[in-house]
Amino acid sequence: MRAAALVFLLALVDCKEQLPAVGADGGPAPRPRILVVTYTAGFHHDSIPTAEQTIADLGTQNGTYEVAAYARTADDVKTMLTPAALEPYAGVVFASTTGDLGIPDLPAFIDWIARGHAFVGIHAATDTYADQPAYVDMIGASFKQHGAQCEVSPKVEDATNPAVQHLAPTFRIFDEIYEFKDNPRPRVHVLFALDAHPPDGHPEAGQPGDFPLAWTKTQGKGRVFYTALGHAIDTWKDERFRQHIAGAIRWALSQ
pLDDT at site 26: 54
Superfamily of domain 31-252: Class I glutamine amidotransferase (GATase) domain (3.40.50.880)
Longest dimension (CA), the chain: 71
- Per the CB < 8 A criterion, the answer to whether 248 and 227 are in contact is yes
- Render the burial of 115-138: b for 16+ CB within 10 Å, e for the rest: eebbbbbbbbbbbbbbebeebbeb
Residue 200 CA to residue 196 CA, distance in Å, equals 11
Q: What are phi and psi of 143, to 5 degrees?
A: -55, 135
* Paired residues of 70 in beta bridges: 36
The answer, as to whether pTM is greater than 0.85, is: yes
26: burial class by Cβ within 10 Å (0-12, 13-18, 19+)?
A: exposed
**3-class state of residue 191 by DSSP:** strand
For 69-81, what is each residue's pLDDT tens digit?
999 999 999 999 9
Residue 246 to residue 54: CA distance in whole angstroms: 9
For residues 17-34, average pLDDT: 62
Cβ atoms of 208 and 201 closer than 8 Å: no
- By percentage, how much of the chain surpasses pLDDT 70? 89
Closest CA to 190 of 226, 244, 143: 226
Sheet holding 33-37: strands in order across?
66-71, 33-37, 91-95, 118-122, 222-227, 208-219, 189-196, 155-156
- The ranges assigned to domains in the chain are 31-252
DSSP state of 82: S
pLDDT tens digits, residue range 180-221? 999 999 999 999 999 999 999 988 888 999 999 999 999 999
